[in-house]
Every structure is written in C-alpha cells, then in structure tokens.
C-alpha cells in the first residue's frame, strides 16, 4: 500500500478541495496548484470529453434505415397525436442523412439525424466514428442475467446522478471516488512541466476530472478564472496599489495561514500564467465560431458549446508556454432529458453539438499554422440512452447508447461495436426497447487511454472493471 508523505502542502490542498465544493471553483483551483513535474512524453496529446447531460436519445441520433428496421422504427415512434417523434426518411424533405460505414453490416443501412449534417461530413471524411450500444457495465451481461439481478449488475440504473457518476468514474454517486479522466491525469501529469494544467474543465466541477492526486483546473467560460477585484480598483485604491493580493497571500507565522497564503499565491500566479499562455480570440489566435443557425427558428443563435470548445482550443494553443504534453478536458451541453417536447428540442441540441464539433475540427486543422487534429481526440458521453418506445411526446430513461469519437487519429467512417436490432422484445431489450449495452464504458475509455500512452497495467488501474472483458481495445483509434 502506498502512503503519501504528510506535507503541509498536500494536507492543506486536500482540505481546501474538500471545503470548496462545486460552488467554489476558485477554491478547487487552489487545490489544483502543484509543483513542477518531471519531463515525460515528447509529443502532445489531448482527450476532450463532451458530456451530453440528461441522457441523449441515441435512437434518433443514429438510425438503421433498411426496410425491416425503418418500418419498425416508424411503427413504434409514430403516434396518433401530434407528439410523434419519428423522423422523415432518407430523401424526404428534412430527412435523415445516410452514412455508409467502411465495414458494412449485412442487409443494414444507416443514417444520422437531419441536424447532424456537419458530423455526417466529418464521418464521410474519416475523422468521426460511431461506437454503438455502449453503457455502464461491470462485466458482460445477458438479458437473463440482468433479470436475475445480482452483484454483477451496475447499481442504480436509470438514475441521472448515479449513471453520470458511473460514466465518469465507474462508481455511483454514493460511492464517490476519482473520475477516470482524473485518473488518466494522475498517471500522465509527470509528462507536464506544470501539473496544474493537466486536467481542465470548462463546464464546472466535473467528477470525470477528479483524480486521486491530480485536481482539475476550472476555466470561467472564455478565460482563466481570476479572483474577483484582484486587479481592479478596490476601496478607492488604484489597481496598481490594490491591497487585496497582499492581504490574501501575505506570509504568516501560523502554519495553517502560512500554507493557505502560499497556495493562494500559487493560484494567482497560475491564473496569470494560463491567461498569458492562452491564444487570443480573433485573427491572431482562435477565430470565433461561425454563426449557428437554429433549426427551430432559422435565426442565428448562441451556441455555448462552441464557445467552450473555442476556449479549450485557446488553451491547447498555449501548450508550449505551459509546458504540457498530456491534457484531459471536459465540456458539456445540457437539456437532453427528453421526456417531453423531444421533436422540438432534440434537433436544436444535436445541431449545437454538430456545429461545435465541426468548428473545433476546423480550428484544430490550423492551430498556429499546425494541424493538431491527430493529437486531439474528442468523444461524447451521456447519462444513458433512452427507451425505444415513445411516451407520446418523448422518451424515458434507458441504458446503452450510441456515441461519437472525433479526431485525426480516429479510424473514422465506421461503426464500432454491435448495432442492436431495431424494435422491442429482442434479446437486448430490458424494457420498452431500452438497450442492454454490448460494450462497456471501461472498454470505451481504455481504447482512448491506450492511444494516450498508458500501458496495459496502467489501464487496469484506471478502469477497475476492464479485466472482466476479453476485448480491451475496440480498435477505433489509429
């Protein structure tokens, strides 16, 4: 068993992290301040988790369009009232967008939601792949084993908070623990000149990025988050003579106060370092996202996800100044809990996802004159999938779901994993067409971790259930 040395810095850092909570991002940034780490990897790689909060309806995201599948889809998703959530067919006005995987599945054809045109283009270009029917699993399960219950069944299925936690950490919310993105950071932080910037969230405090020893650094929308009023006029004192920094970072004789002040000073310096390293917005740095046109209104609208990814690109652009070789990022978009108004809301949400991902791909293609697409991989995740059967105006909580992986190192234009039968009552239906996953989140993450540079032993440490699966690399990374 490994024990950490009882240094004041580690003790205070952990206490601050515990005291801070998700509502105090600056306090969490205090805990993230670390000392310089040894030089490790010679290249640069980054993994970006895009979390679709609420549970995206994957059945209307990736669709089987062969006649048998499509007829069953239309039957189950078309209702007598105006709440039908079935999409128009390929070739119809506003119809689903056909895709042709490199590895065809006999007798089956597929398409993407009409709002995902930019992702279809990236799929066709070979920079996006689909992973089918992935979900939280402890070990492979059959429908009979699921119905029998038992310890091999993931706990608290269909619960938003717990399944978000399972996706991000392999544990339920009640069990706590570090997230697997943070555990990646623990193992790769030694590759970075400053371990502070190993794990970075631009969507609040994310369990995914909480490591055992590595703490996430939180961005504030478009910038590194400063302490309020630190560089402003305060109590009529001019900015140059602002006394706040001296007050909060002054030396003390009391050991606890002394260490708190030292951590605060490092936080201030790290914020300044990150703000100085990030590329600017505009022609000299990272361009603004192109206009997002809402499929609901036809008008230009804000896309907060594109702004999050713009900020991540600006941080990646500052990688050399920050001295980092491995980084893990987290962004998110909410609103996917589509019990109601799915036909109205999901097209808007998926359009934002596709718009933001295509923008991020275009920025990485020419970041400071370099094509960074092979060095940055983005993957999507969500609480769970949805039921296949409609509730009339939407869908309810499910389990397995389909997801996208994007990047120049991705072996794209393909569907990985096993595409399920379309319908209900089959051998993967755990109720109302909700899918029993055939691929685990551990396998999904382990494939990304292998590309990131982790050994088999390290991967087993990051993903505690991976030893239960015979296939540990799904093959979607080049």
pLDDT score for 177: 81
Report the chain's terminal Cα–Cα distance, integer Å. 36
According to DSSP, the residues that pair with 386 across neighbouring strands are 397
Contacts (Cβ under 8 Å, ≥6 apart) of 242: 229, 230, 231, 232, 233, 234
Distance, in Å, from the CA atom of 122 to the CA atom of 99, rounded to the nearest integer, reads: 11
According to DSSP, the residues that pair with 300 across neighbouring strands are 293
Question: Phi/psi at 305 (nearest 5 deg)?
Answer: -65, -40
Helix (H, G, I), strand (E, B) or coil at 458: helix
Ranges of H-type helices in 87-155? 117-124, 143-148
Ranges of H-type helices in 101-190? 117-124, 143-148, 160-169, 180-188
C-alpha 453, offset from chain centre? 19
Distance, in Å, from the CA atom of 454 to the CA atom of 13, rounded to the nearest integer, reads: 27
User: Residue-wise pLDDT tens for the chain (478 aa)?
Assistant: 333 343 443 444 444 443 333 334 544 454 444 433 334 567 999 999 999 999 999 999 999 999 999 999 999 999 766 568 999 999 999 999 999 999 998 999 999 999 999 999 999 999 999 999 999 999 999 999 999 998 889 999 999 999 999 999 988 876 668 999 999 999 999 999 999 999 999 999 999 999 999 999 999 888 777 666 566 555 556 655 556 666 666 676 767 666 665 556 667 777 888 999 999 999 889 999 999 999 999 999 999 999 999 999 999 999 999 999 999 999 999 999 999 999 999 999 999 999 999 999 999 999 999 999 999 999 999 999 999 999 989 999 999 999 999 999 999 999 999 999 999 999 999 999 999 999 999 999 999 999 999 999 999 999 999 999 999 999 999 9
pLDDT score for 345: 97
Beta pairing, strands 110-112 & 62-64 = antiparallel
Task: Quote the tokens at residue 389.
Answer: 């059967």
Ranges of H-type helices in 222-339? 244-249, 255-277, 304-317, 319-322
Distance, in Å, from the CA atom of 185 to the CA atom of 312, rounded to the nearest integer, reads: 16
pTM of the model: 0.89
Distance, in Å, from the CA atom of 186 to the CA atom of 446, rounded to the nearest integer, reads: 15
pLDDT score for 108: 97
For 280, which DSSP code?
A: P
Task: Quote the tokens at residue 432.
Answer: 């109302």
Residue 127 half-sphere exposure toward CB, CA atoms < 13 A: 21
CB atoms within 10 A of CB 104: 12
Residue 168 half-sphere exposure toward CB, CA atoms < 13 A: 34
Distance, in Å, from the CA atom of 388 to the CA atom of 422, rounded to the nearest integer, reads: 8
Distance, in Å, from the CA atom of 406 to the CA atom of 202, rounded to the nearest integer, reads: 19
Q: Is 236 left (phi over 0), alpha (psi -120 to 50) or beta?
A: left
According to DSSP, the residues that pair with 429 across neighbouring strands are 435
pLDDT score for 249: 62
């Amino acid at each position: 068993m490994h024990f950490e040395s009882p240094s004041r810095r580690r003790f205070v850092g952990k206490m601050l992290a515990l005291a801070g909570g998700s509502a105090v991002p600056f306090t969490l940034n205090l805990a993230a301040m670390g000392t310089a780490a040894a030089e490790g990897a010679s290249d640069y790689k980054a993994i970006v988790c895009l979390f679709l909060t609420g549970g995206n309806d994957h059945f209307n995201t990736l669709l089987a369009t062969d006649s048998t599948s499509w007829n069953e889809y239309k039957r189950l998703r078309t209702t007598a009232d105006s709440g039908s959530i079935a999409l128009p067919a390929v070739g119809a006005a506003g119809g689903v967008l056909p895709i042709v995987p490199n590895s065809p599945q006999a007798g089956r054809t597929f398409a993407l939601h009409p709002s995902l045109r930019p992702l279809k283009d990236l799929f066709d270009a070979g920079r996006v792949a689909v992973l089918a029917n992935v979900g939280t699993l402890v070990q492979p399960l059959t429908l009979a084993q699921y119905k029998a219950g038992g310890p091999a069944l993931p706990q608290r299925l269909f619960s938003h908070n717990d399944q978000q936690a399972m996706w991000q950490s392999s544990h339920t919310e009640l069990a706590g623990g570090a997230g697997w993105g943070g555990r990646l950071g623990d193992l790769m932080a030694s590759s970075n000149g400053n371990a502070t910037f190993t794990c970075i969230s631009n969507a609040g405090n994310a369990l995914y990025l909480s490591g055992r020893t590595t703490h996430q650094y939180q961005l504030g929308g478009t910038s590194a988050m400063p302490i309020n009023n630190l560089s402003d006029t305060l109590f009529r004192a001019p900015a140059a003579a602002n006394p706040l920094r001296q007050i909060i970072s002054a030396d003390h004789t009391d050991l606890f106060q002394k260490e708190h002040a030292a951590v605060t000073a490092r936080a201030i310096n790290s914020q300044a370092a990150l703000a100085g390293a990030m590329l600017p917005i505009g022609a000299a740095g990272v361009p603004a996202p192109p206009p997002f046109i809402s499929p609901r209104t036809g008008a230009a609208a804000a896309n907060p996800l594109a702004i999050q990814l713009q900020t991540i690109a600006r941080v990646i652009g500052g990688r050399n100044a920050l001295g980092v070789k491995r980084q893990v990022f987290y962004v998110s978009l909410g609103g996917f809990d589509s019990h109601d108004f799915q036909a109205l809301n999901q097209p808007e949400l998926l359009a934002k996802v596709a718009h933001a991902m295509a923008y991020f791909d275009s920025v990485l293609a020419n970041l400071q004159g370099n094509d960074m697409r092979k060095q940055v991989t983005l993957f999507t995740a969500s609480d769970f999938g949805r039921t296949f059967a409609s509730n009339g105006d939407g869908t309810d909580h499910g389990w397995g779901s389909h997801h996208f992986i994007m990047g120049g190192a991705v072996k794209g234009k393909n569907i990985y994993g096993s595409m399920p039968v379309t319908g209900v009552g089959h051998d993967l239906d755990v109720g109302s067409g909700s899918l029993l996953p055939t691929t685990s989140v551990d396998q999904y993450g382990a494939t990304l971790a292998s590309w990131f540079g982790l050994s088999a032993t390290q991967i087993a440490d990051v993903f505690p259930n991976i030893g239960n699966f015979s296939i540990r690399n799904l093959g979607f990374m080049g």
